[in-house]
Amino acid sequence: MTGMPVNGIDHIRFVVGNARQSAYFYRNAFGFDVIGYAGLETGMRQESGYVLRQGNIILVLTSPLRPTHQFNSRLTMHGDGVADVAFSVSDVEEAYRIALRAGAEGVRAPETIKDAHGSVDMAVVKTYGDTTHTLINRSHYTGLFMPGYQPIEPERYSARRSRETGLRDIDHIVGNVEAGQMNSWISYYENVMGFESILAFDKREIHTSTTALHSRVVRGANGSVTLPINEPASGNRRSQVDEFLYFYSGPGVQHIALTTDNIVDTVEVLRENDVSFLPVPDKYYENLEKRVGALSVEISDLKRLGIVADRDSNGCLLQTFTKPVSDRPTVFFEIIQRHGATTFGQQNFTALFEAIEKEQAARGTL
């Protein structure tokens, strides 16, 4: 497969209404450390930024400081959400050239930004909706994250370390696109990024009695980047993907799955920190081990914490889903622990989507 060479996910950038308060949420609820800040005090005049890190996961939270900033219209349209998934590449100019030649739309041509700590090369291309991919090389930079960002000073923003929750890596990032658009975005990742299409589910596999969706998955960068893409399929009622498209005003990132090596401990702490999870009906846990085989954790712990299990030919996985993290029913998180399984919990789709539909019904959007 050709396409530009991607090394992995560098970071995920959210545009939010109030980055300072969102940083507090991701620190105190999800256990990220707030390690860097950019804003008026660091010479950034138009926007603020907070860099959060946990394990190998880097999130950047950005808010506009002035009414003329382009992020304002984005916030009106989409609310808080993922604006950019940055891929690390070795040669930004080369990657950008290959991407454009393969059909990607450029947003920002390659540039190098510098300060006393070195340089960062970056360029930006479009993907679905108003979402972009920054192509970035930070390997010649020894400072904190990138020029403009400084370490958090306690008097400016509490640098208190968060309570560890054990989140380690980004497992996958899911996009929702409009009906009929999934295949062309899958082709985009195949042609532009050189990713491989690895799985496809049609509406016979992902449905409840009332709604359905299609999903396909691309993977690249030696398996380190996995991007499922969903589109709504015809059903009697408005599916969770339709609901997302309505409240996000178009395609965008639906959920981010984060790995842990101990999902029971992780979800225990997240729940104590007041993270809300999708409820799983008690009856799901009846005969669970008959359905998925022996598990290395107590079923009572899974039931208490709302964790579901699945098995594929390579092993098993444990997973659970938060409720949306903002008032608009849009982006949410998945917590996942893999014991060999390489798929996405296909056997749980119906149970989870029924749980989501209960939430949708409460919101009057089913």
364: left (phi over 0), alpha (psi -120 to 50) or beta: left
Q: Which of 6, 245, 257, 270 binds Fe ion (CB under 5 A)?
A: 257
Q: Which of 334, 337, 341, 366 binds Fe ion (CB under 5 A)?
A: 334
Q: What is the DSSP string of 7-63?
A: -EEEEEEEE-S-HHHHHHHHHHTT--EEEEEESGGGT-SSEEEEEEEETTEEEEEEE
β-sheet with 252-260: strand ranges across: 196-201, 212-220, 225-233, 167-176, 252-260, 332-339, 315-321, 308-312
Does position 310 bind Fe ion by CB under 5 A? no
Contacts of 155 by beta carbon, 8 Å cutoff, 6+ apart: none
Q: How far apart, in whole angstroms, are the C-alpha atoms of residue 354 and residue 360?
A: 10
Q: Which is nearer to Fe ion, 16 or 253 (CB)?
A: 253
Q: Which is nearer to Fe ion, 257 or 302 (CB)?
A: 257
Q: Which is nearer to Fe ion, 171 or 357 (CB)?
A: 171
User: Closest separation between CB of residue 306 and Fe ion, Å?
Assistant: 15
Does position 16 bind Fe ion by CB under 5 A? no
Q: Which is nearer to Fe ion, 257 or 318 (CB)?
A: 257
Interface segment toward Fe ion; rule CB under 5 A; list 65-73, 179-187, 250-258, 309-317: 250-258
Q: Which is nearer to Fe ion, 257 or 280 (CB)?
A: 257
Host H or E run for residue 273:
none
Q: State which amino acid sits at residue 320.
A: T
Interface segment toward Fe ion; rule CB under 5 A; list 25-33, 184-192, 279-287, 332-340: 332-340
Question: How many other CB atoms are there within 10 angstroms of residue 101's CB atom?
Answer: 13
Q: Which is nearer to Fe ion, 257 or 356 (CB)?
A: 257
Does position 84 bind Fe ion by CB under 5 A? no
User: Closest separation between CB of residue 2 and Fe ion, Å?
Assistant: 28
3 state DSSP class of 361: helix
User: Closest separation between CB of residue 137 and Fe ion, Å?
Assistant: 28
**Half-sphere exposure (Cβ direction) of 203: Cα atoms closer than 13 Å:** 16
Site for Fe ion in 49-68 (CB under 5 A): none
Does position 123 bind Fe ion by CB under 5 A? no
Do residues 8 and 87 touch, judged by C-beta distance below 8 A? yes
Q: Which is nearer to Fe ion, 58 or 227 (CB)?
A: 227
User: Closest separation between CB of residue 256 and Fe ion, Å?
Assistant: 8
User: Closest separation between CB of residue 1 and Fe ion, Å?
Assistant: 23
Residues belonging to the chain: 366
Under rule CB under 5 A, how many of the chain's residues touch Fe ion?
2
- Site of interaction with Fe ion (CB under 5 A): 257, 334
